Amino acid sequence: MMRSKLLSLVPCATGPFRTMSTTTKLTTVEVNDKTGIATLTMNRPPVNGLNLDLLRDLRQSIAEIEGNKSRGLILTSSNPTIFSAGLDIMEMYKPDKERVRAFWTALQDAWLALYGSSVPTAAAINGHSPAGGCLLATSCEYRVMLPKFTIGLNETKLGIVAPMWFMSSFLSVLPRREAERALNQGRMFTTDEALQIGLVDEAAGTKEEALEKCAQFIGTFAKVNPIARALTKQQFRAAELEQLESERAQDLEKFLFFINQPAVQKGLGIYLESLKKKAKN
Ligand SMILES: CC/C=C\C/C=C\C/C=C\C=C\CC(=O)SCCNC(=O)CCNC(=O)[C@H](O)C(C)(C)COP(=O)(O)OP(=O)(O)OC[C@H]1O[C@@H](n2cnc3c(N)ncnc32)[C@H](O)[C@@H]1OP(=O)(O)O
């Protein structure tokens, strides 16, 4: 994919300064040359639905951030009210056989890249973050969320079972008892509830404040040996990463089998209709 490089002047909490910015249609990577921190912004209107292209783009941007020696990665959204609406249901509803395989493989790749990233990661959750959006946020090491939005793994409410590795990300943030209950209930948490339970680490009043708090978290590693930090993180996350690596073919087949069940297709169709009806009103 062609990626256009440009230098831009962007305002930020500590004043305007130069950032190196790489833009594709679906994500933007901006590296602050003072802090060395990269901001990875999802930009797929209308709701940052995670489709094949966005997932591939995310993975490519994560690799780019690791390759350009950034000091950390902040994941956020260009949409002022939606971090990500999760997986694009259109990829799973009446799917094309080859595309849906590529789609799930791209999701596995994006998760492995983000959860296993060698750089410190934080999510500035500047909007709603259901299901796959919550997966991305909980794959990061730190979360700052804006008020009056919701976050959670709502899969059971859609008649879907979240795979083990979705649960792994959730479990790396929440105590097992809370994670199990929330997943079984398909519960969406408000910002206040998420803060109280520990699903997010801090609340912020504005996106700029959220980005600043994420940068402060990443700054806490300034005096830590980066190789020791990266290896320590990878040791913590090795079991979950290795489990998906070793079982990804079976995971794909399980997904395909599940998604092709007539009852699941029917449920997704009804859900899509309800979303479209709501959007019209
Ligand atoms: C044993 C296990 C083995 C294998 C595993 C098997 C299966 C696992 C499979 C799947 C896992 C899936 C996880 C997911 O991520 S599923 C997606 C879940 N997401 C949601 O439920 C969110 C739905 N969306 C919303 O709640 C809202 O849209 C919102 C809060 C994000 C935003 O609200 P707004 O009022 O601002 O916007 P809307 O008017 O609702 O929407 C605008 C527009 O976007 C369409 N849309 C919204 N979300 C999605 C989506 N996730 N996918 C596709 N399209 C979406 C919506 O229909 C509107 O479209 P139109 O403008 O009407 O065309």
- Is ligand 1 within 6 A of the CB of residue 152? no
Please state the atom number of ligand 1 nearest to the C-alpha of residue 264: 7
User: Which CATH number do you get for residue 238?
Assistant: 3.90.226.10
Structural contact between residues 83 and 133, judged by C-beta atoms closer than 8 angstroms: yes
Q: The pTM is what?
A: 0.93
Tell me the CA–centroid distance for residue 151 and ligand 1, in Å: 13
Domain count of the fold of the chain: 1
Q: How far apart are CA 169 and CA 245, in angstroms?
A: 15
Q: For residue 23, what pLDDT is reported?
A: 59
Structural contact between residues 183 and 162, judged by C-beta atoms closer than 8 angstroms: yes
- Is ligand 1 within 6 A of the CB of residue 130? yes
ipTM for the complex shown:
0.97
Residue 232 clears pLDDT 80, i.e. is over it: yes
Catalytic choice (154, 158, 186, 211): 154
Whether residue 211 lies in the annotated active site: no
Cis peptide before 262 (omega within 30 of 0): no
Q: How far apart are CA 168 and CA 257, in angstroms?
A: 22
Whether residue 132 lies in the annotated active site: yes
Tell me the CA–centroid distance for residue 26 and ligand 1, in Å: 17
Containing domain of residue 191, as a range? 4-280
- Is ligand 1 within 6 A of the CB of residue 82? yes
Q: For residue 5, what pLDDT is reported?
A: 26
Tell me the CA–centroid distance for residue 93 and ligand 1, in Å: 12
- Per-residue DSSP letter, 71: S
The tens digit of pLDDT for each residue in 19-52 reads 556 656 899 999 999 999 999 999 999 999 999 9
Name the residue at shortest CA distance from atom 26 of ligand 1. 85
Please state the atom number of ligand 1 nearest to the C-alpha of residue 88: 52
For range 224-229, the mean pLDDT: 96
